[in-house]
Amino acid sequence: GNFLLYCDVSNNAIEENATDLLANIPHNIEQFIASSNQIYGNLPASLDDLPKLRQFNMASNALSGDLPVFTESILSLQELDVSKQAVGIAGSFSRDIWRFQSLKI
């Protein structure tokens, strides 16, 4: 099975499409940090299916498109940082953001 719970690849000059990079993100991952790279494109819908995700940080990249809903992370997500994009995330937060019980905004 996939047992990677913590992944920090920040400040690594990664220049890759976000959909490709995150295609095989482990289902049980708790912390994913990939800030300060050159990751571009849309965040994939597969991010909606991460029930244990507590921290997701992809600040300071070149992401664009809509923000995923993070549906399965409603009870666990504490930090969501997609700030400082070279292009800019076009989407808005879900109207259900109030349901995120642990999220610090």
Confidence band, pLDDT 50/70/90 cuts, at residue 98: low
3-state secondary structure of 97: helix
Over residues 29-41, the pLDDT tens digits come to 999 999 999 999 9
For 43-93, what is each residue's pLDDT tens digit?
A: 998 899 999 999 999 999 999 988 888 888 888 999 999 999 998 787 666
- Per-residue model confidence (pLDDT) at position 103: 74
- Which pLDDT score, from 0 to 100, does residue 67 have? 83
Q: pLDDT band for position 101 (50/70/90)?
A: low
98 contacts: CB under 8 Å, gap ≥ 6: none
Q: With 70 as the cut, is the pLDDT of residue 105 above it?
A: no
- Quickly list DSSP for 42-55: PPPGGGGG-TT--E
Mean pLDDT of 1-22: 92
Q: Given this model, what pLDDT does residue 97 score? A: 65
